[in-house]
Structure 1
Amino acid sequence: MQTLSPWQRHAHWLPTVFVVFVFVQSLFFKFSNSPETVYIFEGRLDPWAASLGFAGVFAPGGVFSAKVVGSAELIASLLLLFGAMSPSRRLLQLAGAALGLGVISGAIGFHLFTPLGVAVINTDGSSDGGQLFAMACVVWLCCALLLWMRRSIWLGWMTPRSH
């Protein structure tokens, strides 16, 4: 069995803390019906979805509402943190990274392929300059890095076992 350096044993904390920070700081906006979040979900995404025949999916109570997305981000954050705290709980960190990757992949897709755009234009005409999109991309990279760092767990499931 190989001995891991302190860097190798603790490197997972960097991407974990970044993802948790981004997800948790966004919860206030998603759960408080902030004007920015209402504008993104109800003002931009829901009308776009309605034009495709999926009215209400981003509205309050919809399957992709701000509160649903925020809940998934909260669950991912908790799984990441609890899984990072102990080697015996790495499966939780793997699950959090996978959930986080799924959530943030959706966010990136909506920035790229809907009227939301890479640089979100606010109701007052100002732009975020692509900050939300850039943060989503870094979160995606961190979640992918955590999945790679924990590859021995999921590769173990994929390896055929002889009986």
Structure 2
Amino acid sequence: MMQNRFSWGLQILIALILGQTLFFKFGGAPESIYIFETLGVEPWGRYAAATIESIAVVLLLLPRWNVFGAFLAGCSMIGAIAAHLGKLGIVVADDGGLLFGLALVVLFCSALLLFLRRRLVMDLLGRLPNP
């Protein structure tokens, strides 16, 4: 019971962090445009990232699909962290490293959620056809 509440807390935290960035990405906030221009993928990269993160948020809040949301969020954050460690730098537009820190939090929480829900993950993987 306690683990289930903790898992839901993680799901909500991830969804809140990702969800609050969607307004900026879809809305074309100057910071988002700067980030994706620096990466050379503006505007399609911004829209793609926002769409992927939107799907992750929805999946995180659906009981049988939350592990897919955690996986999608984690993969998205691996890309974000790689961008920060590469072209962007840890501090972007004088944010003090906030975006980088939030990406680390989402990645950690996603990995922890996948670990806590590992039985569901293994059950889903067990249903895959063998080649």
Provide TM-score, normalisation by structure 1. Answer: 0.73
Query: Within the alignment, does 1:106 sit opposite 2:76 as a pair?
Result: no
Identify unmatched segments of 5+ residues in structure 2: none
SS in 2 for 1:82: coil
Query: Within the alignment, does 1:45 sit opposite 2:39 as a pair?
Result: yes
Q: Which residue of 2 aligns with 1:131?
A: 98
SS in 2 for 1:59: coil
Q: Which residue of 2 aligns with 1:60?
A: 43
Superposition RMSD in Å: 1.4
| Shift of residue 158, structure 1, vs aligned partner | 4.8
Among candidates 130, 140, 143, match of residue 110 of structure 2: 143
| Shift of residue 8, structure 1, vs aligned partner | 2.0
Contact 2:33–2:43 under 8 Å retained in 1: no
Provide TM-score, normalisation by structure 2. Answer: 0.90
Between the two proteins, the alignment pairs up a number of residues equal to 126
Q: Which residue of 1 aligns with 2:19?
A: 24
Answer 1 or 2: which has greater helix percent.
Answer: 2
Runs of 4+ in 1 over 6 A off after TM superposition: none
Task: State the percentage of identical aligned residues.
Answer: 39
In the TM superposition, what are the counterparts of 1:78-89 in structure 2 within 5 Å?
78-83=58-63, 89=64
Deviations 1:32-70 (A, max 9, x none): 11111111101x111xxxxxxxxxxx1223xxx111101
